[in-house]
Structure 1
Amino acid sequence: MSTTARTVLFHEIGGPDVLTVEETELPAPGPGEVLVRVEALALNRAEALFRSGGYFYQPTLPGSRNGYEAAGQVAEVGPGVTAFAPGDLVLTAANHELSAHGVYGDLVLMPETALVPRPTGVDAVTAAAVWVTYSTAYGALVERAGMKAGDHVLITGGSSGVGTAAIQVARRAGAVPVVTTRTEAKRQRLLDLGAEHVIVSDSEDVIKETKRLTGGRGAEMVLDAIGGAWFAALGDAAVEDGTLICYGWLNEEPVLLPMQWPLTVLGYNNFVLTGSADGRRRAAHYIGSGLSDGTLKPVVAEVFDGLEAIREAHRLMDSNAHTGKIVVRV
């Protein structure tokens, strides 16, 4: 038996105004599928890129869905589903194809493998804001790069969702977060969130400042959200035999590699972690334990109410005026 849902769709690539709220029919969950009633969803930069045609794969048009990250409750399960039951509180694991399974809606049909349990005692708005940012920062810095206590970690795009999460992930490991932001307006906010040092890239030389702040050595790790030719320049900010991690491409030009050898360069995609059951289990435990002991506290920039606010939420994302996550309460 089918169910009527309210779903955000787009039929052409473009700005926030291409997003529309429409009634759709969802079939009953099939084998391995779960119907989830969405309580809150969070925006990610990837979704703005997907909407505008700048993501690493293109939407299926017309009628593409969008959205990686949501918190909700299981409404119904299909045959063969054993990990979840109706009434369970869940998060989406952001390992799905956006056109087919995007979570912008009040009801979404998800593969069982695209869900994880919601951390105990966490409200929907907070829960919607945790998975992508913390699993990315944890997966890149801890699992892939082996961050250690005392490491200086240069985090570009420090006011983004992943940037603010990476500050806390670094602090939790005993590392020293050094973050960049474009304007002076966000410096104090980032210091308040736990950054050891903040470099304002519009007025300060990021490479020189990183060297100065590390006593001339450079950072043991660089976590970069920008890419392009900028990534090559970051080689000068790292210690000899340091690690550079490119996880984003806010600059849509090809990523250029530095020539400061020896140097480890990692191209990080979070599907490496969330694509396996064991990876999802490790990330869920890390996030749940961090929320429980207070070392991880998601930064929510603004909460919008209702699916009709999705365009306004995307406009805020495009403006880069926010710090942390943008959440829409459904």
Structure 2
Amino acid sequence: MTTTTARTVLFDEVGGPDVLRIEELPLPAPGPGEVLLRVEALGLNRADTLFRAGLYFYQPSLPASRLGHEASGIVEAVGDDVRDLSPGDAVLTGPGIEMSTQGVHADRVVLPARAVQPRPAGLDAVTWLTYSTAYGGLLETGGLRPGDHVVITAASSGVGVAALQTAARIGAVPIAVTRTGAKERQLRDSGAALVIASDTADVVQEVRRFTADRGAELVFDAVGGPGTAELARALTPEGTVVVYGTLDRRPLTMPLNWPLSVHGYADAHLTSTPDGLRRVNAFIASGLRDGTFRPVIGEVFEGLDRIRDAHRLMESNAHVGKIVVRLTH
């Protein structure tokens, strides 16, 4: 039985931001194990733009594919067998969302309860995913320790800024890599000990110079492609590369300056397990309490009708931090 409708972002073909459209869709009441969420804000991620363009690791179901996996909002109703969530709860969407059928870019959405979690105090915008990715990639997968140097590519992105703050919080030394020097001050304010503009400087040489030719213990890479092998030359012997993004769609080249470790990190692998989610949320909560985690919002767009503008900004790479679309009801 239909209880309400939802303004929902859809696309019928892959392409640029202009393929996005908004349609009023009937919304069923939540069934067993489901919740109805009134969306208050959307967090844009690079995965959203790649999915829309047909460049993500799985393809959209066309026509009328949905989009997006990160939102915050209020639970309006719960289905049978949902015990841990109640109407009125402030929540975030979490792992396990298949964007074509469950995409959260809408003003209301029905989701499996397992894809929703209570919103941590202090996260008033959609930034949980950035800190969970930074924690899981740097600490659990990369094994980052106090005193280690870590090279963070795409450092002005939401995850990049969270990674700078996460590394600095544990006493590691974050080295930010960005295309130009225009964002240096903002990146230093987020904890970067060194900012390297890749358009004008040799990243490996600068890391070597900064570490007195010792090299970094970890590379946290959002780009992938052939550049990963080049970046690995900035590592110490037995260093580690963690690749969590594929901004460069060319095949990743395996580094040959062995010994070293190379890992691919997917946040859902950690946050879809109860123990992993518990550790992630404990770490984020502690950083918010002591003030070392300071979510950086690049820009806020008002209303779902601005979704195309938000996608354009994401693809321009002109922002620092998280892009948010705030909804009104």
TM-score, normalisation: structure 1: 0.97
Residue 44 of structure 1 corresponds to: 45
| TM-aligned CA distance change 1:94 to 1:19, over 3 Å | farther
Q: Secondary structure at the match of 1:76?
A: strand
CA distance in 1, matches of 2:238, 2:9: 46
Q: Secondary structure at the match of 1:57?
A: coil
Shift of 1:289: 2.1
Shift of 1:121: 4.9
**Counterpart residue identity of residue 140, structure 2:** E
Asked whether 1:287 is paired with 2:288, we answer no
CA distance in 1, matches of 2:294, 2:95: 20
Shift of 1:276: 1.4
Q: Quick check: 2:154–2:160 contact (8 Å CA) kept in 1? A: yes
Shift of 1:94: 3.7
Asked whether 1:243 is paired with 2:240, we answer yes
Which residue, 206, 212, 233 being the options, matches 1:209?
A: 206
Within-5 A mapping of 1:248-327: 248-327=245-324
Residue 200 of structure 1 corresponds to: 197
Shift of 1:288: 2.0
CA distance in 2, matches of 1:248, 1:141: 14
**Counterpart residue identity of residue 164, structure 2:** I
Shift of 1:307: 0.3
CA distance in 2, matches of 1:240, 1:275: 33
CA distance in 2, matches of 1:155, 1:295: 18
Shift of 1:68: 1.3
**Counterpart residue identity of residue 260, structure 2:** L
| TM-aligned CA distance change 1:316 to 1:139, over 3 Å | same
CA distance in 1, matches of 2:215, 2:72: 39
**Counterpart residue identity of residue 94, structure 2:** A
C-alpha distance after superposition, 1:143-182 (max 9, x if no partner): 1122110000000111011110000000111100001111
Q: Quick check: 1:116–1:280 contact (8 Å CA) kept in 2? A: no
**Counterpart residue identity of residue 221, structure 2:** D
Residue 179 of structure 2 corresponds to: 182
Q: Quick check: 1:95–1:274 contact (8 Å CA) kept in 2? A: no
CA distance in 2, matches of 1:163, 1:120: 22
Which residue, 163, 166, 175 being the options, matches 1:166?
A: 163
Q: Secondary structure at the match of 2:259?
A: coil
Gaps of 5+ in 2: none
CA distance in 2, matches of 1:102, 1:194: 33
Asked whether 1:154 is paired with 2:144, we answer no
C-alpha distance after superposition, 1:246-293 (max 9, x if no partner): 111100001111011110111111111122122222212222221122
Residue 221 of structure 1 corresponds to: 218
Residue 70 of structure 1 corresponds to: 71
CA distance in 2, matches of 1:105, 1:284: 25
CA distance in 2, matches of 1:60, 1:169: 36
CA distance in 1, matches of 2:216, 2:5: 52
Q: Secondary structure at the match of 2:233?
A: helix
Q: Secondary structure at the match of 1:289?
A: helix
Runs of 4+ aligned structure 1 residues displaced above 2 Å come to 120-123
Q: Quick check: 2:178–2:195 contact (8 Å CA) kept in 1? A: yes
Residue 104 of structure 1 corresponds to: 105
Q: Secondary structure at the match of 1:215?
A: coil
CA distance in 1, matches of 2:123, 2:18: 32
Gaps of 5+ in 1: none
Within-5 A mapping of 1:6-85: 6-85=7-86
Residue 119 of structure 1 corresponds to: 120
C-alpha distance after superposition, 1:90-138 (max 9, x if no partner): 0011431111111101101111111111012543xx2x1x221111110
Shift of 1:316: 0.4
User: How many residues are treated as equivalent by the alignment?
Assistant: 326
Q: Quick check: 1:94–1:132 contact (8 Å CA) kept in 2? A: no
Q: Secondary structure at the match of 1:242?
A: strand
Q: Secondary structure at the match of 1:178?
A: strand
TM-score, normalisation: structure 2: 0.97
Q: Quick check: 2:122–2:288 contact (8 Å CA) kept in 1? A: no
